[in-house]
Structure 1
Amino acid sequence: MEVGYLGPKNSFTYKAASYYFDDSSLQPYSSITSCLNALTHMQVDYVVVPIENSLEGSVHTSIDGLFHHKDIKVYKEIILPIKQNLLVNDLTIVPEKILSHPQAIAQSQHFLETCYPNVLIEQVPSTTFAAEYVAGHPDESVGAIASKEAAEEYGLEILSENIQDNRFNQTRFWLLGKQPFKIDDSNIQKLSLFITLPKNTPGILHKVLSAFAWREIDLSKIESRPLKTELGEYYFIIDVIIQDNIPLVEHALEEITLLGVTYQHLGCYSIVIKE
């Protein structure tokens, strides 16, 4: 079995993928798009990608990519605490430049503005790439925002730990595939949908939400994304909490279909929260 993930090794996505798969199964990819393409072309059996961060919101590349890969399903959700650290080669170094992935930089914005207001902040493809660069350039006064695992992997020192703006910083990751993954059906907790509304229908979004509301079906998320066709055209991603309500959910989907709404069923899945 081959499993793709947003790499390189010791990225946060790697940590999420490692929850279900050992190293021999894991194949890193440089972007979310390349992960999804590898899955589409059957180069891997599954992929793990980030879908949402509690501080920075949805990972739009993942969401938009899934919208256009309609045969890919969600089989698991893994929630990881995200703890960022400032890594250097030597604790005596005062960084003149700090590297990291844009999400990690955004998650540590208060720390950077307070402690390093005049330091150059440079975006790179991943937190692990940043750590690898720092390790390979010991003669430069440069730091990286990355995980403790990356520090261990590349022999770096932790100059400041837990620098994220919120100690409850978490990221949701999805295990995606085109073929069934082993699922404990008794532990299904969520259903995700992409919904596209008919044009020029007043109040249609209200009617869609009402189909779930009057049945007392809990929605944990609703978000709009541009269809990228013309200005003002959107699709919606909706997360439905699954309890003992699957027949009610099925009836709600029948109702919105009668309203002219189309939906893409991303899958029912369980959630694992790692400490």
Structure 2
Amino acid sequence: MKVGYLGPEASFTHNATRTAFPNEELVSYHSIPACIKGVEFGEVDLGVVPIENTIEGSVNTTVDYLFHQTTIPVGAEIVLPIYQQFMVSKKNQARWLETTKIMSHPQALAQSQEFIRTYFPLAELEATPSTAYAANFVASHPNQKIAAIAPKMSAETYDLEIVGKDIQDVEINQTRFWVLGAEKIELPIQSEHQKLTIALTMPNNMPGALHKALSAFSWRDIDLSKIESRPLKTTLGEYFFLIDINVQKPQLLLDNALEEIRLMGGTVKIFGNYAIHPINGV
């Protein structure tokens, strides 16, 4: 089986994918849409993409593509603890405080702002396609006073020296990844609870539309763990709502709640009903 992931190698997504699929062929993609299209076009059987981070929130590229452009189901979720490392070439290890440019993925830069402000308030920050890309660039330019923020695996892969350990602003920093391509996907990682994710759109000009929709869950005591609005990309001021539901009630009760919303004139798109698989100690 082939499993696609947002690359390159040694990125956080690669880390999660490698742990969840240790014996499968892994295929790197340069972007989230490219990875999802790889599943759509049959280049790979499954795809792994980030969906949310503790600090930075939802990955809008993933949410919007799955809502607007595909019907590929979510079959599992992986939760990976995120530890950001500050790394330089071995040649610059002794003078790492002289770094003039810091490179990383925008989310990694945002997750490490306190460290950057403390040690490098004047350094140039350069966003890169991935954390692993930044590490690779630093390794390829050892004579430049540059550094990367990336996972530990990147330092090992590209032979860099970690000079700042676990520099993320929040100690408990996690990223959720969705496994796409099948309605139910078995992983060799112990699962916790089940989750149902839907996208909800209500009719225009309906007073209290969101309140009425949420009441379908409320009076049935259905627990919602997340609700977020995203632009419909039609007219300014029109949105769909991304909702995560903790599956603790009978399926019939959930189905009835969704049917009640449809009877109000709402539209419901089901992303997936899937198990949560936390990864520990990676």
TM bucket, shorter chain: over 0.9
Question: 2:185 corresponds to which residue?
Answer: 181
Question: 1:144 corresponds to which residue?
Answer: 148
Question: 2:275 corresponds to which residue?
Answer: 270
Q: Which amino acid aligns with 1:133?
A: F
1:99-140 per-residue CA deviation (whole Å, 9 max, x = no partner) reads 000000000011111110011111111100010011111111
Distance (Å, rounded) in 2 between the aligned partners of 1:244 and 1:197: 24
Q: For residues 3-14 of structure 1, what are the structure 2 equivalents within 5 Å?
A: 3-14=3-14
The Cα shift of 1:179 comes to 6.2
Question: Does structure 2 conserve the Cα–Cα contact (< 8 Å) formed by 1:40 and 1:69?
Answer: no
| Aligned counterpart for 1:199 among listed residues 200, 204, 218 | 204
Distance (Å, rounded) in 1 between the aligned partners of 2:33 and 2:124: 28
Question: 1:37 corresponds to which residue?
Answer: 37
Question: Does structure 1 conserve the Cα–Cα contact (< 8 Å) formed by 2:183 and 2:272?
Answer: no
SS of the residue corresponding to residue 4 of structure 2 reads strand
**Correspondence 1:111 to 2:118:** no
The Cα shift of 1:20 comes to 2.3
**Correspondence 1:130 to 2:140:** no
Distance (Å, rounded) in 1 between the aligned partners of 2:187 and 2:24: 22
TM-score scaled by structure 2? 0.93
| Aligned counterpart for 1:213 among listed residues 204, 213, 218 | 218
SS of the residue corresponding to residue 92 of structure 1 reads helix
TM-score scaled by structure 1? 0.96
**Correspondence 1:101 to 2:78:** no
Question: 2:173 corresponds to which residue?
Answer: 169
Distance (Å, rounded) in 1 between the aligned partners of 2:60 and 2:127: 18
Which structure 1 segments of 5+ residues have no match?
none
Residues 54 and 20 (structure 1), Cα distance of their counterparts in 2 relative to 1, 3 Å cut: same
Which structure 2 segments of 5+ residues have no match?
none
Distance (Å, rounded) in 2 between the aligned partners of 1:63 and 1:226: 11
Question: Does structure 2 conserve the Cα–Cα contact (< 8 Å) formed by 1:193 and 1:264?
Answer: yes
The Cα shift of 1:182 comes to 3.5
Residues 206 and 163 (structure 1), Cα distance of their counterparts in 2 relative to 1, 3 Å cut: same
The Cα shift of 1:188 comes to 5.5
Distance (Å, rounded) in 1 between the aligned partners of 2:214 and 2:187: 28
Question: Does structure 2 conserve the Cα–Cα contact (< 8 Å) formed by 1:70 and 1:264?
Answer: no
Distance (Å, rounded) in 2 between the aligned partners of 1:238 and 1:24: 32
Distance (Å, rounded) in 2 between the aligned partners of 1:248 and 1:183: 27
Question: 1:68 corresponds to which residue?
Answer: 68
Distance (Å, rounded) in 2 between the aligned partners of 1:132 and 1:200: 51
Distance (Å, rounded) in 1 between the aligned partners of 2:171 and 2:207: 42
Distance (Å, rounded) in 1 between the aligned partners of 2:256 and 2:33: 34
Moved more, 91-100 or 135-144: 91-100
Question: Does structure 1 conserve the Cα–Cα contact (< 8 Å) formed by 2:197 and 2:272?
Answer: yes
Residues 52 and 85 (structure 1), Cα distance of their counterparts in 2 relative to 1, 3 Å cut: same
Question: Does structure 1 conserve the Cα–Cα contact (< 8 Å) formed by 2:200 and 2:267?
Answer: yes
1:56-100 per-residue CA deviation (whole Å, 9 max, x = no partner) reads 000000000100234211111111110001100131132111100
Distance (Å, rounded) in 2 between the aligned partners of 1:170 and 1:56: 10
| Aligned counterpart for 2:158 among listed residues 144, 151, 154 | 154
Q: Which amino acid aligns with 1:68?
A: H
Question: 1:92 corresponds to which residue?
Answer: 94
Q: Which amino acid aligns with 1:259?
A: M
Q: Which amino acid aligns with 1:240?
A: I
Distance (Å, rounded) in 2 between the aligned partners of 1:247 and 1:111: 49
